[in-house]
Amino acid sequence: MKKSLLITLEFPPQTGGVSNYLYNLVKYFPSHEVVILAEKKGGLLSHTNYKIYRKKLLTTFKFIWPKWILLFFTAKKIIKKEEIEYIQVSHILPVGIVALMIKKYLGLPYLVYTHGMDILLPQSSKRKTKLIKSILKNADLVIANSNFTRNELLKLGVTDRKITVVHPCASLVPKDVDPRRIDEAMNKYKLKDKNILLTVGHLISRKGHDMVINSLKKVIEKIPNTVYLIIGDGPNKQSLKNLAESLNISDKVIFLGNISNDDLQIFYRLCHIFIMPSREIKEKGDVEGFGLVFLEANLFEKPVIGGKSGGQIDAIENNYSGLLVNPIDENEIASAIIKLLENPDYAKQLGRQGRERALEKFQWKNEAQKLINLST
């Protein structure tokens, strides 16, 4: 593997999908062959065996433009000091511009990671569309987190030979939980003898919490002892509470807020179905790039329900690890829930198959090896 500099705006201890994705790939790279240049946020990261530079990457000074110009000079110094041969960037904008400039002035090849929204959102601007096409055209390699993202790259004119799909993988691995903690959760939220639906995710429109609540009304008519647990927080929290109240099912929808990974283990174990019918919001370029939580739920042998949208089609194998539904059809969502609740043997089969699939096809070490092989 050529010695590379990864320039990223998101890296632990910052949280988020991109941060988690890069961290779990990099830890399998040869430590002497990768250097990280990360945003100076969130403090230091312990337990690493590679070098990390923490710098302010984008200037906020009013009279300095473009905002990434200081990043270019910072990267240039590190490239010389560390004898860097290859550049990796976490997003197409704005750090992809820096990679393009480095290639132009220093002659170093570069790789761009793409995630879905980062290539869809800029396309509302003709100037940005032209810019991302130039960055992609000059990239030596383009990494897509799903086949959905890959197809969007093809639409932008990226040649197929330059694209490699490197999937996210689950990091939350099931571990033993004190049975008393499970009993406490069941008692606290009155979950005994209930059919439990679970969503884990930021409370935003894309995730489809509203469609689950709308469909829940129909599910309860047939299976009254069904409840819906929502883990996460976000701007839509109050509107979702209002929706449940307007449907007279407030007692069936339980908001748990943000919780620790240890507590999350409890609710993955308790739920009967994991559901998150994410949809694409085209006017905002907002789409589910993959859907890591589906793999997490599968590792707990839970069947999953997701939307036929974005990268969920990679995360879920329809009728094998879970069910894919039209994310804006509450009747179809309700039917999928009822199908699994009324056929527990089938639901358990999907959960078991989902776990086997997650363990076989989605391992960070194997995904990282793709990158190591590409950049040798």
Which residues of the chain form CATH 3.40.50.2000? 4-166, 179-361
Helix H or strand E encompassing 195 = strand 195-200
pLDDT at 348: 98
Strand order in the sheet with 4-8: 51-55, 34-39, 4-8, 86-89, 110-114, 141-144, 163-165
Torsion sign across C-alpha atoms 171, 174, 175, 180: positive
pLDDT at 46: 54
Which of 307, 319, 311 lies closest to 291 in space, CA to CA? Answer: 311
Q: Would you tell me which CATH number, out of the four given (2.40.30.170, 3.30.420.40, 3.40.50.2000, 3.40.50.2300), belongs to the domain 179-361?
A: 3.40.50.2000
Residue whose pair of structure tokens reads 């036929």 in the numeric block: 308
pLDDT at 44: 55
Q: Which CATH superfamily is domain 4-166 in?
A: Glycogen Phosphorylase B; (3.40.50.2000)
Q: 295: number of CA atoms within 13 Å, CB side?
A: 23
pLDDT at 104: 96
Give the CA distances from residue 313 to residues 41, 116, 276, 305, in Å, rounded to whole numbers and listed in that order.
33, 13, 13, 11
Helix H or strand E encompassing 237 = helix 237-246
Q: Please, which residues have CB within 8 angstroms of residue 370's CB and are 6 or more apart in sequence?
A: 164, 166
Helix H or strand E encompassing 23 = helix 17-26
Splitting the chain (376 residues) into consecutive groups of 10 residues, what average pLDDT does each group show? 93 87 94 92 65 86 78 95 97 95 96 93 92 97 97 96 96 91 96 97 96 97 97 97 98 97 96 97 87 96 97 97 98 98 98 98 96 83
